Amino acid sequence: MKRLTSAILMLLALAGAAWGQDPEKHPMMLPSPNPPQAPLAPTAAVPPGDVEISVGDRMPDFQLDGSLGQPVRLADLKGHWAVLVFDETRTKLGRLRAVDDSIRALGTQLYGICPDGAGGLKTYARREGVAFPLLSDPTREVSRLFGMYDEDNGIIQSGLVLVDPQGVIRAVFQGPSLHPDDVLQLVRHTIARS
């Protein structure tokens, strides 16, 4: 009985410590406007090389080719808010075109990252009317760098990274499915808190 009581007290102490953490370093969860969709959850992934991507860190440098026919680099993201959305399939990224105009109205540029080749992404974007850049990460190295790679299944995990105009990471989320309305809500909420 003493062990059970001790274990319960330890769990309560840990829960209390977690609850009191700085909310600026740990973004709060947002309710999903679409109840059937899984809610967004903060990431706990650690990319290779002992580098952990966390809120408040500077975004790491990268370069990817994509649907616009020219490479996108870290420098291209500075000066405006940027949201990098990761997924294994371009189809899920393509659904974000429904909120692209609303995200742009917030002064934010949307970027989709998946493993498909740049030529295929260019064709897909033209055919489906996707105006925001779709970036090719065929080796999945950039996805690993951002902690958006599922080692067990060998795929890019659905998630997003929101970066401020100075290149500082302001939100990192992973989820089984990033519904466009959830992405828009997260961008609005994060920018409003800044």
79 pLDDT higher than 70: yes
Whether the CB-CB separation of 51 and 79 falls below 8 Å is answered with no
pTM over 0.85: no
pLDDT of residue 25: 36
pLDDT in tens, 33-48: 333 333 333 333 333 3
18 pLDDT higher than 60: no
More confident residue, 11 or 161: 161
Rama region for 121: left / alpha / beta (φ>0; ψ in -120 to 50; rest) = alpha
15 pLDDT higher than 60: no
115 pLDDT higher than 90: yes
pLDDT in tens, 116-159: 999 999 999 999 999 999 999 999 999 999 999 999 999 999 99
CA dihedral sign of residues 59, 63, 66, 69: positive
C-alpha Rg value of the chain to the nearest Å: 18
More confident residue, 110 or 32: 110
pLDDT of residue 58: 93
Cα–Cα distances in Å, from 175 out to 98, 100, 159? Answer: 19, 20, 6
Structure tokens at 29: 């969860």
The pLDDT confidence band at residue 174, using thresholds 50, 70 and 90, is confident
CA distance 123 to 29: 36
Average pLDDT on 51-57 reads 79
Whether the CB-CB separation of 147 and 45 falls below 8 Å is answered with yes
CA distance 148 to 156: 6
CA distance 59 to 89: 23
Specify the amino acid at residue 97: R
The pLDDT confidence band at residue 81, using thresholds 50, 70 and 90, is very high
Mean pLDDT across the chain: 78
Of the chain, the percentage scoring pLDDT greater than 70 comes to 73
Q: Where are the alpha helices (DSSP H) in the chain?
A: 2-19, 74-77, 90-94, 97-105, 118-128, 141-145, 180-193
CA distance 170 to 86: 16
Q: Which domains does the chain have, with CATH numbers?
A: 39-193 (3.40.30.10)
